[in-house]
Structure 1
Amino acid sequence: MELNEVHKFLSNKKNIARLFKQNGSSYCEKLIARFNDVNEKIKETEQLRLTEEKEKQDKLKKVSEYMLSIGLKPNDLLKIRKEPKEPKIKYQYIDENNNQLTWSGRGKMPFWLSKQLEQGKSLDDFLAN
């Protein structure tokens, strides 16, 4: 049963009365207890979320106040973003005519180099550094 259908069913007093008559009061009391348990857990979760959000806001306010006290503005933090470092390349291979056909040794081997290796040459013949 979809949530919308459950809502429609429980919103109708006749449906609740029928459920009560068919299953008895103890069954309905168990259902009410389950609803109350779920409702309490939802309230606890929401209260926890609100508490965490308030603590976060308090921390942000303290940090912001401290930054202002030492002459920094919160936007100054955006300026210190670290740029990702380029990975260091240990080896670089260059074609036999010193053309700009290079390969770092990573990824798929280029066609020009695989052809040379098929002809019996070695990678060391093309090592640039």
Structure 2
Amino acid sequence: MTSTQAAAPYALMIQTDGWFELTDWTPTWTAAADSLSCQAVRPVALTGQLTMWVDEDAVPRGLPFNRPAAKVLRVFRAEALPYFGPVLFTGRIDTAADRGAHGLTEDQALELIEQYLTRAAKIPQQRTR
């Protein structure tokens, strides 16, 4: 993989049924709301380099609890709030330039999926004596 490919901006959508979708990301303030098909979107800073976007109206709209996203969030927070509806992961928010959020690299997006898969599956470990 070339350095240009590694830096391509992506966003990772996690649906409530566990479906993951890696999409191209355009860093604008409306991109998250457009991706989540909602009017009111809220960023949740998870780390200095990772932001999760949620639909502010997911509960009034009757959207289900996002269990797959909760499993990913356990890696970043001890006490994660319950989030409903699909969520979107991007890079850090660029407040200095007021340009929205940076995209994820392909490696960052795949790491999020790997964290979900390894936390969701009970992988047998080698026994120690």
- TM-score when normalising by structure 2: 0.20
Q: Determine which structure has the larger helix proportion and give its number.
A: 1
Structure having greater relative contact order (Cα 8 Å, sep ≥ 6): 2
- Structure with bigger gyration radius: 1
Q: Determine which structure has the larger strand proportion and give its number.
A: 2
- TM-score when normalising by structure 1: 0.20
